[in-house]
């Protein structure tokens, strides 16, 4: 195959053609998108790549606004259903195609130069007569046409109506592909439909589908791993407090700042991973503004937002979100470690116990992030990933119905690896002076937690 598959994306103005390209390209910066007519006025091209090799060329065209006038021209110049294609070529040469109907001419010219057209439909709109005129004009180009129903996730989508109307025009290979609420399966179906229609391009399209599937799997694994890294870093993080001080406000404030910054780094990474580099693309269904969580991590409101009970560690005021381990050889385990599993973890690790005793002898306590806050950290990031996975790159507005988030585990019943992490300060990148955080056991712990999260997700 010397020539890559050429696909023209056509449709009425303001139906989301550029959004479709953005989502297929994973590129939020392509073209210009707005809820207004004629945002795209030139034809802009994009190549879809599989393993760095171009396998499909997509062309974003201006919206059709007056296709009826093109039909009129054809009829006025005596072209009927039998010689429409020739008539269309004549039209593109005409004076009108360079003036009032220039936008339409660009669309038809691009469709004629392509192997197939994707006809993008705003499924919230009824099947108006002007759309029928448009389809009739497009069919004059005698190119295969695949209707793409956009905005199908909307409550007032009329996809049934559209399918019936398109079937009447013997356009049966209809695809529902919401560029706002994107999901990987509908993208695969879109490529499948193309494949079914264009057998000559079977090999490149199959490669593209495989590449996209692998990409999705890799992305999900990487996202979970990133969250696991954050959780291990925070769970293993410890701040030493002199024993003669009971308030420890300075240490708490330092720890709080470090954990907040670490969470923000994770959010940034997750956004970058999913191709939403800028904060303006953050799903509005999430309690987030400018790529930052609205509620502070260390407030009870933030816990409640995700249905996590503050539990027994629910200290209020300055100490919220922390546990101070004033362990005296395991007789008192501190408020936060009162859970059975946490105590077990403490007893189970001689190393941890020994260290605590040593610190106690030195007159110092350990300050840690409490378990409910850890839960919140995990569930917030998981909900972000869930929202990012279901969001098209063309979306500029809010999506309805965010992911239902709840506490990922009951207090003290979390993954054992998080409790083990408390005995491994060297696992945390937040502990500056603690050994080599890249020990192989840290990797194993992150892997274990990521697998645990996968079952959860």
Partner 1 sequence: MSATAPRFNDRLVAEAVRVHEDRLGHPVDEPEAWQHGRDAAGDLEARLVARAGATRLGLRVRDTLGRWRRNVAVLLGFAVLLAFLAGVITAIGVFGVPGPGGGEVNVFVVLAGLLGLQLAVLLVWLLMVVLRPGRGGGWLGARVMGVMALLTRRLSPDDPRQLLAIAAARLTGERRLGAWAASTLTHALWAAFCIGALLTCMLALAVRQYDFVWGTTLLDAPHFIQLVGWLGTGPALLGFPVPDEALVRASRLGADVAIEARRPWAGLVLGALLVYGLVPRVVLGLACFGLARRAAARFRLDLSASAYALAAPRVTPAARRMGVIDPERAGADAATGAVTKRVPAAEGPVAVAMLEPGPDVSVAIPDAWVSLGAADDRASRERVIEALRARAAAPRVVVVVAWLARTPDRGARSFLRRLRDATRAPVWLVLAGAGTARARDLRVASRIDEWARLAGGAAIDRVLAPQDDADCDDLGARVEAAFVDAPGSGT
The footprint of partner 1 on residues 132-151 (CB under 8 A) is: 132-133
Residue 9 phi, psi (nearest 5): -100, 115
Residue pair 39/11 in contact by the 8 Å Cβ criterion: no
* Stretch in the footprint of partner 1 (CB under 8 A) among 82-90, 270-278, 325-333, 354-362: 270-278
Q: Quick check: 180 and 397 in contact, CB under 8 A? A: yes
Residue ranges of the alpha helices (H) in 278-403?
A: 300-305, 340-348, 350-361, 371-389
Q: Which is nearer to partner 1, 222 or 279 (CB)?
A: 222
Least separation in angstroms between residue 317's CB and partner 1 is: 31
DSSP at 280: G
The alpha-carbon radius of gyration of the chain (Å, integer) is: 29
Q: Which stretch binds partner 1 (CB under 8 A): 88-96, 267-275, 340-348, 362-370?
A: 267-275
Please, what sign has the CA dihedral across residues 80, 84, 87, 92? positive
Residue ranges in 337-396 that form contacts with partner 1 under rule CB under 8 A: none
Site for partner 1 in 402-441 (CB under 8 A): 429, 435-438, 440
Q: What character string, x for contact with partner 1 (CB under 8 A) and - otherwise, covers 294-333?
A: ----------------------------------------
Q: Which of 81, 126, 330, 340 binds partner 1 (CB under 8 A)?
A: 126
Q: Is 394 helix (H, G, I), strand (E, B) or coil?
A: coil
User: Distance between CA atoms of 131 and 430, rounded to whole angstroms?
Assistant: 59
x/- mask, partner 1, residues 156-195, rule CB under 8 A, reads x-x-------------------------------------
Min CB(69)–partner 1 separation in Å: 7
Instruction: Tell me which of 112, 197, 198, 273 binds partner 1, using CB under 8 A.
Output: 273
The three-class DSSP label of residue 29 is coil
Q: Which of 1, 32, 47, 164 binds partner 1 (CB under 8 A)?
A: 47
Site string for partner 1, 102-121 (x = CB under 8 A): xx--x--xx-----------
Tokens 């306590």 locate to 365
- How many of the chain's residues bind partner 1 (CB under 8 A)? 79
**Which of 137, 235 has the CB closer to partner 1?**
137
Residues 6+ apart with CB under 8 A from 8: 59, 61, 107, 110, 111, 113, 114, 116, 117, 118, 143
Q: How far is 405 from 413, CA to CA, in rounded Å?
A: 18
Does 13 contact partner 1 by CB under 8 A? yes
Q: How far is CA 289 from CA 15, 280, 284, 390, in A?
A: 27, 9, 8, 18
Span 194-223, contacts to partner 1 by CB under 8 A: 212, 215, 218-219, 221-223
């Amino acid at each position: 195959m010397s020539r890559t598959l050429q696909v023209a994306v056509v449709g009425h103005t303001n139906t989301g053609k550029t959004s479709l390209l953005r989502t297929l390209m994973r590129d939020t910066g392509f073209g210009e998108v707005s809820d207004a007519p004629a945002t795209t006025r030139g034809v802009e091209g994009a190549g879809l790549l599989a393993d760095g090799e171009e396998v499909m060329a997509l062309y974003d065209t201006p919206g059709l606004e007056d296709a009826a006038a093109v039909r009129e021209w054809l009829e006025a110049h005596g072209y009927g259903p039998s010689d429409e294609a020739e008539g269309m070529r004549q039209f593109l040469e005409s004076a009108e195609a360079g003036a009032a109907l220039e936008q339409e001419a660009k669309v038809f010219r691009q469709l004629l130069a392509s192997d197939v057209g994707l006809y993008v439909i705003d499924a919230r709109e009824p099947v108006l007569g002007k759309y029928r005129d448009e389809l009739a004009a497009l069919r004059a180009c005698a190119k295969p046409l695949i209707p793409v129903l956009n905005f199908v996730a909307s409550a007032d989508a009329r996809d049934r109506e559209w399918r019936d109307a398109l079937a009447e025009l013997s356009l049966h290979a209809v695809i529902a592909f919401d560029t706002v609420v994107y999901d990987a399966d509908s993208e695969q179906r879109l490529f499948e439909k193309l494949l079914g229609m264009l057998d000559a391009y079977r090999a490149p399209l199959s490669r593209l589908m495989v590449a996209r599937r692998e990409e999705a799997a890799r992305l999900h694994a990487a996202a979970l791993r990133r969250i696991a890294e954050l959780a291990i870093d925070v769970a293993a993080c410890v701040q030493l407090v002199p024993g003669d001080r009971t308030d420890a406000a300075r240490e708490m404030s330092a720890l709080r700042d470090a954990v907040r910054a670490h969470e923000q780094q994770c959010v940034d990474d997750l956004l970058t991973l999913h191709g939403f580099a800028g904060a303006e693309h953050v799903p509005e269904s999430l309690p987030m503004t400018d790529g930052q969580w609205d509620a502070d991590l260390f407030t009870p409101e933030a816990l409640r937002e995700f249905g996590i009970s503050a539990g027994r560690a629910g200290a209020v005021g300055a100490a919220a979100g922390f546990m101070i381990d004033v362990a005296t050889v395991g007789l008192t385990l501190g408020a936060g470690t009162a859970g059975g599993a946490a105590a077990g973890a403490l007893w189970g690790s001689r190393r941890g116990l020994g260290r605590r005793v040593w610190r106690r002898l030195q007159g110092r306590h350990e300050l840690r992030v409490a378990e409910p806050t850890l839960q919140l950290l995990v569930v917030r990031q998981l909900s972000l990933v869930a929202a990012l996975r279901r969001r098209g790159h063309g979306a500029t507005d809010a999506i309805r119905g965010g992911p239902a988030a709840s506490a990922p585990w009951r207090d003290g019943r979390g993954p054992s690896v998080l409790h083990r992490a408390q005995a491994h300060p060297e696992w945390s990148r937040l502990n500056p002076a603690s050994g080599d955080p890249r020990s192989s056991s840290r990797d194993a712990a992150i892997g274990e937690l990521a697998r645990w999260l996968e079952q959860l997700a």
